Structure 1
Amino acid sequence: MGKKTLIFILIFGIIFVTAILAGANVYQTAMDQKESGHQEAAETAKKKADLKEVGTVETFVGKEKQYIVEGKNKKGEKMYVWVPADKKQKTMFKKAADGISSRQAAKAVQEEGLLSELKEVHLAREGNVLLWEVTYLNKDGQYSLSYVDFINGKIHKNITP
């Protein structure tokens, strides 16, 4: 192997390792931001909704940032708690049985003839309206969102880019 080839491989290796480390750092920073506030939201949900156990915590960012906490109360009933990142806003909570399921929310969108391929369904909130955010491909293959009311199952709004 020639001297030039060895230098080229060494320089390429250094650049490659640097790129991998930089990418890992960006990924870790993004994940830390996504999960920051989850522990505090879980504690708030335990206090406000009288949860016995916390299952999952997800971050929803719409007009306002919310933490959606899923857990169980002392009676063993499944609960959802919407904890706003802004402490001035009100924490809201409902028993899962008091609203529609994620499947029912997806079905509501499908019945409107909007959905071609379902991608995800997550809890959301806009103001004091509790919602399901349904992400899907529409008939034209575009990513779209529909917000379905958690309580009555009616479509609140549709967003297609």
Structure 2
Amino acid sequence: MRRKWRIAAALSLLVLLLGIAGYRFYTIIQSDTWKEEDTAIQKAKEKAGLVTTDKVEPFVGDRPYMIVSGDNAEGKKLIVWVSETEVHSELADNGMAREAARQKVLQTKPEAEIMRITPGKLENTYCWQVFYKAEKDGKKRLYYDYYQFKDGSLLDTWTLSLQ
């Protein structure tokens, strides 16, 4: 009977130690990302007048950006593109909405499986990047559609093969 208790205690201790090690590993891996997000939020508050933050999401194009969404002092939705060298903000109402970008893709490809929609920057144009999967010629492919933030016009489509 004592042997069973010792085995149970040892296994419980092992599970606890593995849980602690897993948590520690996760926090070490994520710490750089969290630091980048915190820096982007701080820059967005200082330079763009952001008061509250709803969402922070990375975008990697010609250069990496952290996209910070939230409200300004007047309570209006704001989208802020933050890179190492620039901070650019737009009122969400002054551009195409995220849902409108989704609908533009679904109008042309109703079978598309949209995986992600992110504000981004293509060359010198602020835009929405829509990443999705769709079938073409009997094969599944991955696509990136870029829509201009200001007016919703299609800027470009990138096609990737699906392995």
Deviation sequence 1:16-63 (CA, Å, 0-9, x none)? 7776555444432332222222222222112222x2522234232413
Q: After superposition, where does 1:9-24 map in structure 2 within 5 Å? A: 23-24=22-23
Q: After superposition, where does 1:19-58 map in structure 2 within 5 Å? A: 23-49=22-48, 51-58=49-56
Q: Which residue of 1 aligns with 2:99?
A: 103
Q: Which residue of 1 aligns with 2:60?
A: 62
Q: Which residue of 1 aligns with 2:128?
A: 132
**Does the 8 Å CA contact 2:95/2:151 hold for their aligned counterparts?**
yes
**Does the 8 Å CA contact 2:105/2:112 hold for their aligned counterparts?**
no
- Percent identity over the alignment is 20
CA distance in 2, matches of 1:18, 1:34: 25
Give the deviation of 1:94 after TM superposition. 0.5
What is the TM-score with the length of structure 1 in the denominator?
0.73
Give the deviation of 1:117 after TM superposition. 1.6
Give the residue type in structure 1 aligned to 2:60. Answer: G
CA distance in 2, matches of 1:30, 1:114: 38
The number of residues matched between the two structures is: 156
What is the TM-score with the length of structure 2 in the denominator?
0.72
Give the deviation of 1:74 after TM superposition. 2.4
Gap change, CA 1:93 and 1:106, over 3 Å in 2 = same
Q: After superposition, where does 1:57-96 map in structure 2 within 5 Å? A: 57-63=55-61, 64-84=63-83, 86=84, 89-96=85-92
CA distance in 2, matches of 1:46, 1:10: 50
Structure 2 stretches of 5 or more lacking a match? none
Which stretch shifts more, 147-156 or 97-106? 147-156
Coordinate RMSD, CA, aligned: 3.0
2:157 corresponds to 1:157: yes
**Does the 8 Å CA contact 1:149/1:156 hold for their aligned counterparts?**
no
Structure 1 stretches of 5 or more lacking a match? 4-8
